[in-house]
Chain A
Amino acid sequence: MIKGISIILLFYLLGNAISHLIGGFVPGSVCGMLLLFAALCARWVKPESVRGVSLALTQNMAVLFVPAGVGIMAYYGLIAQHWVAIVTITVVCTLLVLISVGAIAQYLDKNFNNKKSTSDK
């Protein structure tokens, strides 16, 4: 576990360094995630060594979102003032993404899949 925690922290630190170098336009944690993914693919990091800590962190991640959500008490006025726009945009844009991704993926899987289609499984 200690080894896994060290590896995760090391990649987080590396990610932050890279984020800083490229002017911060991608968050350090996202850079760290891509670096860890690349290191796993390249077999520089053994999957077993980070498995335990990764699952522990990601399986209980929702509890980490509570503090930001509680901030609604500080921004209640702003949200109340613009709630029609916020709700409309959230609903419309989410459905647009859902339908466009589904339609494109279905089209591509039907026409360009080099394996047997999974839809008849």
Chain B
Amino acid sequence: MKELASSTPAILLLVIGSYYIGTLLYRRLRSAWVHPIVVSMILVIATLLLLGIDYPTFKQGAAFLDFLLGPSVVALGYLLYEQMGHLRGREIIILVATLVGGLVGIGSVIALGLLFNLDDALIASLQPKSATMPIALPLSQQWGGIESVTAIVVFFTGLIGSIVGPWILEKCGITNPIARGLALGSASHGIGTSRAIELGALEGAVSGLAIGLTGVTISLLIPLFEWITG
């Protein structure tokens, strides 16, 4: 019975089925806190605890989903291409802003991490947090972080941007739609972008572009910071 419950089809059904339930709930309640990922995570963890299946066994059964993260990132190249078309003439602004975002993001994590006396593994788990999840997860593993801590932090980062982002931007006098879209996408990846889409079409397009660019920028900047700090 336990063998059947931890087989690949059972694990995939558990993850995808609980995610489906999450989307149904999200459609009814429309709150960022009941994001399908959260609902799905809670349902999966509860089921695993109930059946006595440990995390490594679960992870083995879910290997197919992990594999699909790679092709999904490659597919982002297509989205980047599609979005680039809307934004001709502003390439420099967009590149400079995402570069600044990457520098501020990683630099501030390292500085505060040292201030809090966190060990290297936790800092490595936190530094890719503004990257989109499929890029942040391999970056965390690659630089000695803990993938699962990164997953939680990346998700939380998205929520912060989507819940208080537009309000903070308004308080800081940032009203330009391009600036707002870039800020939300660079700080809070896909979850920030879904909020940016609600602000306007231009905000949404720029924000979508910022997801891919921020992912690339952070991939390149982490080794640079690693090299500087030795």
Q: Do A and B bind each other?
A: yes
Q: Give the interface of A toward B (CB within 8 A).
A: 8-9, 11-12, 15, 24-30, 32-37, 40-41, 47, 50-51, 53-55, 57-58, 61-75, 78-79, 82, 85-106, 108-110, 112-115, 117-119
CA gap between A51 and B78 in the complex, in Å: 7
Tell me if A72 and B112 are in contact (CB < 8 A): no
Tell me if A33 and B212 are in contact (CB < 8 A): yes
Tell me if A73 and B55 are in contact (CB < 8 A): yes
Tell me if B40 and A100 are in contact (CB < 8 A): no
Asked whether B101 is an interface residue with its Cβ less than 8 Å from the other chain, the reply is yes
Are A96 and B70 also in contact (CB < 8 A) when A8-B75, A29-B138, A90-B156 are?
no
Tell me if B77 and A36 are in contact (CB < 8 A): yes
CA gap between A79 and B148 in the complex, in Å: 10
**Neighbouring B residues of A74 by C-beta, 8 Å:** 54-56, 148
17 inter-chain pairs at a CB distance below 8 angstroms, sorted by A residue, are A30-B219, A32-B70, A36-B74, A54-B76, A62-B190, A67-B58, A73-B55, A79-B149, A88-B116, A89-B112, A90-B126, A95-B164, A97-B187, A98-B183, A101-B182, A101-B183, A118-B178
CA gap between A89 and B18 in the complex, in Å: 31
Are A106 and B179 also in contact (CB < 8 A) when A37-B81, A97-B187 are?
yes
Are A33 and B76 also in contact (CB < 8 A) when A71-B55, A74-B55, A96-B105 are?
yes
Tell me if B177 and A118 are in contact (CB < 8 A): yes
**Neighbouring B residues of A65 by C-beta, 8 Å:** 37, 133-134, 137, 151, 155
Are A27 and B135 also in contact (CB < 8 A) when A53-B75, A63-B65 are?
yes
Across the A-B interface, give the 8 residue pairs with the lowest CB-CB distance, nearest first.
Answer: A71-B148, A36-B77, A102-B183, A29-B73, A106-B179, A54-B78, A68-B151, A105-B179
Additional pairs, 9, CB under 8 Å, beyond known A12-B74, A71-B55: A34-B77, A63-B40, A64-B69, A68-B147, A75-B146, A90-B156, A93-B112, A101-B179, A113-B89
Are A114 and B89 also in contact (CB < 8 A) when A65-B133, A85-B116 are?
yes
| 8 A Cβ contacts from B35-75 to A | 35-37, 40-41, 44-45, 48-49, 54-56, 58-59, 62, 65-66, 68-75
Tell me if A115 and B90 are in contact (CB < 8 A): yes
Asked whether B199 is an interface residue with its Cβ less than 8 Å from the other chain, the reply is no
Tell me if A101 and B186 are in contact (CB < 8 A): yes
Tell me if A105 and B182 are in contact (CB < 8 A): yes
Asked whether B93 is an interface residue with its Cβ less than 8 Å from the other chain, the reply is yes
| 8 A Cβ contacts from B143-162 to A | 146-153, 155-157, 160-161
Shortest Cβ gap from B141 to chain A (Å): 9
Tell me if A67 and B59 are in contact (CB < 8 A): yes
Which chain A residue lies CB-closest to B79?
A58
Tell me if A90 and B129 are in contact (CB < 8 A): yes
Tell me if B48 and A101 are in contact (CB < 8 A): no
Asked whether B92 is an interface residue with its Cβ less than 8 Å from the other chain, the reply is yes
CA gap between A6 and B165 in the complex, in Å: 39
Are A108 and B96 also in contact (CB < 8 A) when A35-B77, A67-B15, A94-B157 are?
yes
